[in-house]
């Protein structure tokens, strides 16, 4: 399967050279969505936690890229180290506070963070760093040697990050730490009785999710060339939750399907609705969740298992 996945990523990268930049731009955004949703697979699927804070983590990554470019002499690629580090720190800190409580308390604490984050960006003592309500502009990522366009370069970088992230999460699931996460998800009291430090394990999962989402926000900021406080709101958090539920909460492959859904499905409903796009989007979303409670990835897995049972 690793060979199949490797061939798939290489083929996808090669196809990027065959399409115009506006098509590559959209697929790059789908890949960036998938990176962010991979963090939610770790947080919500593997460790069984809940969060609305993903928009704040996404904004941390975006502003890390913008501040590095606007206020430091460092090159833009340094933000690819800073963004996940800040995202991990914020996620781990949030996990230490919220993960010892029930899932409803986790939702409320993370909701408070995502509501406060845009206001924090406008706070007067730091607005000279964040740009306040005006936001900050970013210079595009320079492709090496100018051999490819800026859109294609972001696409290739995002694809490489997604491939590395999928490899990391797949190994995490099969590791001792992954088994500890699953134990805390299934029964936290039993896991603690077996000597698993539940709060620390959950906090690390929250930190990893924050790192993935912040890295996605960093890539998105370079893609659009601008960050502003209104972009990182509660609606963005809900979009990511919808995407990971539709794609598949318990499968890393679900993050890829969810990224494609978030990028292309709204355009499909807009073309059908002519003014009822939001209603159509909601109805189709609810129908998909009811029909596929484990997401598209879970439905495909069940169909494959049935086909295997019925085969020769």
286 in a structural domain: no
Does pLDDT of 113 surpass 90? yes
Per-residue pLDDT, averaged over 120-142, amounts to 90
pLDDT class for 278, splitting at 50, 70, 90?
low
Q: Where in the sequence is the domain holding 219, given as residue range(s)?
A: 2-232
45 in a structural domain: yes
Q: What is the pLDDT of residue 289?
A: 74
Say which residue the tokens 């002499």 belong to.
73
pLDDT class for 309, splitting at 50, 70, 90?
very low
Which stretch, 68-77, 80-89, 259-268, has highest mean pLDDT? Answer: 80-89
Report percent pLDDT > 70 for the chain: 95
71 in a structural domain: yes
Q: What is the pLDDT of residue 297?
A: 80
pLDDT class for 266, splitting at 50, 70, 90?
confident
Q: Would you say 99 and 203 are in contact if contact means Cβ atoms under 8 Å apart?
A: yes
At residue 187, what are phi and psi to the nearest 5 degrees?
-165, 100
Of 303 and 207, the one with more pLDDT: 207
pLDDT class for 312, splitting at 50, 70, 90?
very low
252 in a structural domain: no
157 in a structural domain: yes
Q: What is the average pLDDT value for the chain, to the nearest integer?
A: 88
Does pLDDT of 7 surpass 90? no
Per-residue pLDDT tens digits for 174-223: 889 989 998 998 888 888 888 889 999 999 999 999 999 999 999 999 99
Domain count, the chain: 1
Per-residue pLDDT tens digits for 139-173: 888 888 878 888 999 999 999 999 999 999 989 88
311 in a structural domain: no
Q: CA dist 22 to 12, 26, 150, 223, Å?
A: 16, 7, 11, 12
Q: Which of 214, 291, 296, 283 lies closest to 256, judged by CA?
A: 296
Other residues' Cβ atoms within 10 Å of the Cβ of residue 112: 13
7 in a structural domain: yes
Q: What is the pLDDT of residue 218?
A: 96
135 in a structural domain: yes
Other residues' Cβ atoms within 10 Å of the Cβ of residue 59: 27
Reported pTM: 0.92
């Amino acid at each position: 399967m690793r060979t199949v996945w490797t061939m798939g990523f290489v083929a996808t990268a090669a196809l990027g050279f065959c399409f115009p930049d506006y098509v590559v731009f959209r697929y790059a955004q789908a890949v960036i969505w998938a990176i962010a949703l991979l963090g939610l697979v770790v947080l919500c699927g593997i460790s069984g936690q809940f969060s609305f804070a993903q928009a704040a983590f996404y904004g941390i990554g975006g502003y890390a890229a913008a501040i590095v470019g606007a206020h430091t002499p460092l090159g833009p690629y340094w933000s690819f180290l800073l963004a996940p580090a800040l995202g991990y720190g914020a996620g781990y800190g949030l996990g230490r506070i919220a993960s010892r409580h029930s899932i409803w308390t986790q939702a409320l604490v993370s909701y408070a963070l995502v509501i406060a984050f845009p206001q924090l960006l406008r706070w007067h003592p730091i607005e000279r760093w964040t740009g306040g309500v005006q936001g900050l502009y970013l210079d595009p990522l320079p492709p090496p040697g100018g051999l490819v366009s800026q859109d294609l370069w972001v696409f290739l970088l995002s694809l490489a990050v997604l491939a590395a992230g999928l490899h990391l999460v797949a190994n995490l699931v099969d590791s001792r730490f992954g088994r500890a996460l699953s134990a805390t998800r299934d029964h936290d009291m039993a896991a603690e009785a077996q000597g698993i430090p539940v709060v620390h394990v959950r906090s690390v999962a929250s930190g990893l999710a924050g790192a993935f989402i912040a890295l996605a926000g960093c890539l998105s900021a370079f893609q659009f060339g601008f960050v502003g406080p209104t972009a990182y709101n509660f609606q963005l958090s809900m979009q990511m939750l919808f995407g990971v539920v539709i794609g598949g909460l318990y499968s890393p492959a679900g993050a890829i399907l969810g990224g494609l859904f978030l990028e292309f499905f709204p355009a499909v409903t807009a073309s059908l609705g002519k003014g009822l796009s939001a209603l159509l989007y909601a109805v189709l979303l609810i129908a998909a969740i009811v029909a596929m409670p484990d997401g598209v990835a879970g439905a495909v897995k069940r169909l494959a298992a049935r086909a295997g049972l019925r085969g020769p």
